[in-house]
Amino acid sequence: MRVKDAVIVSIITSLVVLFLLPIAFLFYTVIVNGLKVIISYGPGFFVDLPPNPGQGLGGIGPALEGSLYMVSLAVLISAPISIFAGVFLSFFERSKIASSIRASLELLVEFPTIVVGIVVFEILVVEFGLGLNGITAATALAIVMLPYSTIQISEALRIPKKLYEEAAYSLGLTTWQVMKLIMRIGRRGMVNGLLIGFAKIIGETAPVIFLTSSTANLYLQSFTTPVTGIPVLIYTYAFSGYPNLNDVAWGASLVLITIVTIVFVIARRMAK
């Protein structure tokens, strides 16, 4: 039995190592190449304009500003809807409406995000003429974020609801008071759900390709200013034939991965 156990443990360990190798290689490649670019250019990499093709290094200031602007606006749009829908799903989970909403959200999670971008482009840009700006891109990102945050919030409220709902009603609390109590107990899980949605959309590329400018040298002047984001900058510069733009793409990739990792670590700590 000891020999059999040792063999099984060795196989499992080998499979885990094989699973982690591609991830480790990914992080190693991005960190080494991206850090070299950021150190070479200095702190100005985060605020300066990108370089001209074939003319040295530059920064990602407009793209970084555009990403934070679009994602923040998307969170403002999606958060109230996610919280309301998550509370509804957790408190009325046996109703037909809740079942239909949950099924729709689970379908939307698997929905190709590029299709979301095309639909939003057709409606807001073509039909309403809003242009390629942060509002249209944020709308698409809010749609992408919605199912992730809503499902996480509903799951975060389900456990405290089962533990405290019956006791709360026995003390004479109304349904609205019970909801407030459960939301107060599960508030860390609700914030965690919003952070998971944030981490999901900060790196989304497909939906914003249709809704942002490929020019990464414009800072925000107004709500209608064409913006770009870090994922679009990486996509554009990585396939460029100019080595200096390829280097900027590596630095931008490190910045993006760092942001996602920080948000993920915070979400995991809050979940515990």
pLDDT of 16 > 90? The answer is no
Residue in this structure with the two tokens 């850090």, named with its chain if needed: 35
pLDDT of 157 > 90? The answer is no
Q: What is the pLDDT of residue 35?
A: 92
Half-sphere exposure of 103 (CA within 13 A, CB side): 7
pLDDT tens, residue by residue, 57-74: 888 888 888 888 899 999
Average pLDDT of the chain? 85
Q: What is the pLDDT of residue 260?
A: 87
Let me know: does 102 contact 91? Beta carbons within 8 Å: no
pLDDT of 215 > 90? The answer is no
* 156-162 average pLDDT score: 83
- Domains of the chain, first to last: 61-271 (1.10.3720.10)
pLDDT tens, residue by residue, 95-118: 888 888 888 888 888 888 888 888
Backbone φ, ψ for residue 205 (5° rounding): -110, -45
pLDDT class of 145 with cuts at 50, 70, 90? very high
Give residue 127's identity as a one-letter amino acid code.
Answer: E
Most confident of 65-74, 159-168, 199-208: 65-74
Region of poorest pLDDT, from 2-11, 124-133, 224-233 = 2-11
Q: What is the pLDDT of residue 271?
A: 64
Tell how far CA 89 is from the center of its chain: 22
- Smallest CA-to-CA distance from 53 within 267, 239, 241, 254 is with 241
pLDDT tens, residue by residue, 168-194: 888 888 878 888 888 888 888 888 888
Let me know: does 71 contact 205? Beta carbons within 8 Å: no
